[in-house]
Amino acid sequence: MKYIYIKTWGCQMNEYDSSMIVKYLEKTGQYLITKNSEKADVLVLNTCSIREKAQEKVFHQLGRWKKLKNKNANIIIAVGGCVATQEGKEIFKRAKYVDIIFGTQSLHKLPKMIDEVEKNRKFVIDISFPKLDKFNNSLTITNKGYTASISIMEGCNKYCSFCVVPYTRGQEISRPSDDVLFEIASLAENGIKEINLLGQNVNAYQGPTFDGKICYFSELLRLISEIDGIERIRFTTSNPLEFSDDIIEVYKDTPKLVSFLHLPVQSGSNKILQLMKRSYTTEEYEKIIEKLIKARPNIQISSDFIVGFPGESKKDFKETINFIKKINFDMSYSFIYSSRPGTPASEMKDEINIKEKKERLYILQDCINKQTMSWSRKMLGSKQCVLVEGTSKKNAMELYGKTENNRIVNFHGSPKMIGKFVNVQINEIHTHVLHGKLL
C-alpha cells in the first residue's frame, strides 16, 4: 500500500474534485489516504487560481514539499486544479521537482499517471479538456455525514472580463440528469438528508436525459425534491444572467429548496457591470430579487463583490454601497480585484491605489456585516429548523446544526438527534453563530 496526501485549496468544486481523486485512487486498491504529509509516497496539491494570492500559495507549498523530496527522492509530487490547467508546463520550470501536472478534467487519469512516473521517472502532464470524459468517469460519492455536495455541471461560457474560470474549467458541460438523480437517490439511501448541487453556473444546467431530451435546472430541482429522504436542497453558484422565471417558480411549490440563495452581483454600478461583462444591470438583478421575494417571502440573499475593478470611481463604489443597502443582503464574500493573466480585464488600466482598494473593501464589509447582524436579530425568538451535525466543539454538552440560511446554532440536546432535523427557538445571537433552545 502507498500513502497519498492531498491538500485542497479553493472553491467547493475543488473540494468535490479532491474527494473524486480519493475515490479514483482507492478504487485501484493500491493507495491509502494519509493526513500526515511526512508519511506520504504521493503528494497531491489541488490548486486554485481565482485570485493572485491563491496562486502564489501554490509555489510556497511546493517549496515546503521540495524539502520532503530532498529527504526521499521516491516521493511523487502531483499538481492539479486551476493553476495546473492554466500554467501547465510552466510549473515544471518554476518547480523542477514536480512530477505530475493534471488538469481539472483529468482527475480520473491520475492513478495511471502515477504508475507512469513510477516506471519511467519522467514528468507527466495532462491538462486537456476531453468533452464529457470527466463525468463519464464519475463515481458515486457516499458521504458519511448528513449533507453531501454533488457536481451537476462544470465550466463556464460567460467570460466575465476578470475571471479565469472559463480558461481553467472549460466550457459549460452538464452531467446527464439520470446520473445526478441516481447518485442523489443512493446518497439518500445512505442517510444523506441535505444535498448541495455544485457547478460554476448551476442555473445554466442543461442535462441530457435518457430519451434524448434536455432537463433544465428548474426541472432537476423538482425531480430531486421528489427523492425520499432528501429534506433540503441547496445549490451554488448561480448567475443572475440565467436566473429565469421557471427557476423562481420552483421557490413557490418546492419547500425542500432552502429560503436562501447565493446570487453574486459583483458591483452595484452599471458602468462597472458592463466593464466586467456581467451582461445584466442592477435593475435586472433587483427585478429577480423582487420576483423571488414574491415567490418566497422569507428568502435571504447572499452575494459576491469585487471592489477596485479597473475604472471603479468613488461614485461607482458609492452606487455599490447604495445597492447593498437597497437589497439588504444576508451576507457576502467580497474581494479586492486581482488582475488575472490572460483575462480581458488584465489589459485595462488599473489606477486605483491599494490603500483606496482596502478602504473600499473595509467599508463594504462593514456595511454587509451590519446587514448580517440585522438578519440575525430578526431570527431572535423565532423557530428554526436545524439539521443537527454533531456535538459542539466548544461545549461537549451541546449540539450544533445549521439553519436554512446557513447559521450555526448551538443548543442542548441528545446525541441521538445527530443527523436529524429538529426545531429550536433562537434565544441568543452573534454575527454568524446563534444559540437556541430545543422545542
Q: 135 near 113, Cβ under 8 Å?
A: no
Residue 278 CB, nearest approach to ligand F3S (Å) = 7
Options 116, 284, 304, 389; binder of ligand SAH; rule CB under 6 A? 304
DSSP state letter for 269? -
Contact call for residue 166 and ligand F3S (CB under 6 A):
yes
Residue 386's DSSP bridge partners are 422
Residues 182-211 that bind ligand F3S (CB under 6 A): 200-201
> DSSP letters of 291-336?
HHHHH-TT-EEEEEEEES-TT--HHHHHHHHHHHHHHT-SEEEEEE
Contact call for residue 159 and ligand F3S (CB under 6 A):
yes
Q: Which three cell numbers stand for residue 138?
A: 464519475
Nearer to ligand F3S, 343 or 403 (CB): 343
Residue 94 CB, nearest approach to ligand F3S (Å) = 25
Options 243, 337, 375, 411; binder of ligand SAH; rule CB under 6 A? 337
Contact call for residue 165 and ligand F3S (CB under 6 A):
yes
Residue 340 CB, nearest approach to ligand SAH (Å) = 5
Nearer to ligand SAH, 18 or 302 (CB): 302
CB count in 10 Å sphere of residue 245: 10
CA–CA distances in Å: residue 49 to residues 83, 104, 168, 313, 341: 5, 12, 8, 27, 10
Q: Is 215 annotated as a binding residue?
A: no
By CB under 6 A, which span of 12-20, 121-129, 160-168, 364-372 interacts with ligand F3S?
A: 160-168
Contact call for residue 340 and ligand SAH (CB under 6 A):
yes
Q: Which does 306 bind (CB under 5 to 8 A by kind): ligand SAH, ligand F3S, none?
A: ligand SAH
Contact call for residue 239 and ligand F3S (CB under 6 A):
yes
Q: Which helix (H) or strand (E) holds 196?
A: strand 194-198
Nearer to ligand F3S, 118 or 304 (CB): 304
Q: 169 near 156, Cβ under 8 Å?
A: yes
Q: Which does 338 bind (CB under 5 to 8 A by kind): ligand SAH, ligand F3S, none?
A: ligand SAH
Q: 361 near 307, Cβ under 8 Å?
A: yes
DSSP state letter for 389? E
For residue 21, give the 3-state DSSP assignment.
helix
Residue 128's DSSP bridge partners are none
Q: Which three cell numbers stand for residue 433?
A: 453563530
Q: Is 367 annotated as a binding residue?
A: no
Contact call for residue 302 and ligand SAH (CB under 6 A):
no
Q: Which does 159 bind (CB under 5 to 8 A by kind): ligand F3S, ligand SAH, none?
A: ligand F3S
Give the span between the Cα atoms of 126 and 402, in whole angstroms. 40
Residue 271 CB, nearest approach to ligand SAH (Å) = 17
Nearest CA to 33 among 59, 8, 1? 1
Give the span between the Cα atoms of 108 and 139, in whole angstroms. 10
Q: 421 near 386, Cβ under 8 Å?
A: yes
Nearer to ligand SAH, 200 or 218 (CB): 200
φ, ψ for residue 48, nearest 5 deg: -130, 140
Contact call for residue 338 and ligand SAH (CB under 6 A):
yes
Nearer to ligand SAH, 190 or 279 (CB): 279
Written as one letter, the residue type at 17 is: D
Q: Which does 80 bind (CB under 5 to 8 A by kind): ligand SAH, ligand F3S, none?
A: none
How many residues of this chain bind ligand SAH (CB under 6 A)? 17
Residue 124's DSSP bridge partners are 100
Q: Which does 166 bind (CB under 5 to 8 A by kind): ligand F3S, ligand SAH, none?
A: ligand F3S
Q: Is 82 annotated as a binding residue?
A: yes
Angle, in degrees to the nearest 10, between helices 282-295 and 245-253? 20
Options 156, 215, 227, 424; binder of ligand F3S; rule CB under 6 A? 156
Q: Which residues contact 87 (CB under 8 A, 6 or more apart)?
A: 49
Options 160, 188, 247, 261; binder of ligand F3S; rule CB under 6 A? 160
**Interface residues toward ligand F3S, by CB under 6 A:** 156, 158-160, 163, 165-166, 200-201, 239
Which parts of this chain interact with ligand SAH (CB under 6 A)? Answer: 50-51, 162-163, 165, 200-201, 237, 239, 264, 266, 304, 306, 335, 337-338, 340
Annotated binding site: 11, 48, 82, 156, 160, 163
